[in-house]
Amino acid sequence: MATVELTKDNFDTLVSTNDTVFVDFWASWCGPCRTFAPIFEKVSNERPELLFAKVDTEAQQELAASFNIMSIPTLMIIREGVVIYAEAGALPEQALSQLVDRAISLDMVQVHKAIAEGSAAG
């Protein structure tokens, strides 16, 4: 599946209807973003069962601000409504593929349990 455009209008729907969402925050003027874009697209085409989405930080400033995006490109992974990864910087293809594998193999029962325990402690 090709990447989809993520906006403030479709964000909630796409995140709630997809178990795992890989999000590339980018801008057209950003050199590293232009370098990372074909890598992100290639990996998305290799994993059509997963949702890969792009947020144009210029067009979607409110959405980018809601995630405190300070540097681009920033890759974010949202799984079962939980941000499990958020890092700035372009990744090489092999590193992105490995990150995808780790994200989908993550034990979300443990993640939700840790979040619940953290919420109860605070």
Q: Does residue 93 surpass a pLDDT of 90?
A: yes
Average pLDDT for residues 13-33, to the nearest whole number?
A: 96
Is 33 an active-site residue? yes
Do 53 and 4 contact (CB within 8 A), yes or no? yes
Chain-centre distance of CA 26, in angstroms? Answer: 11
pLDDT tens per residue, range 70-91: 999 999 999 999 999 999 999 9
Catalytic annotation, pick one of 15, 21, 23, 33 = 33
Overall domain count for the chain: 1
Catalytic annotation, pick one of 15, 21, 23, 30 = 30
The CATH number of residue 99's host domain is 3.40.30.10
Domain that holds residue 81: 4-121
pLDDT at 14: 95
pLDDT at 28: 95
Helix (H, G, I), strand (E, B) or coil at 96: helix
Beta strands in 1-122 (DSSP E): 4-5, 20-26, 51-56, 74-79, 82-88
List beta partners, residue 65. none
Question: What pTM does this model have?
Answer: 0.91
pLDDT tens per residue, range 106-121: 998 998 898 888 876 5
Give residue 2's pLDDT band: very low, low, confident or very high (50, 70, 90): confident
Integer Cα distance of 18 and 16 in angstroms: 6
pLDDT tens per residue, range 38-75: 999 999 999 999 999 999 999 999 999 999 999 999 99
Is 66 an active-site residue? no
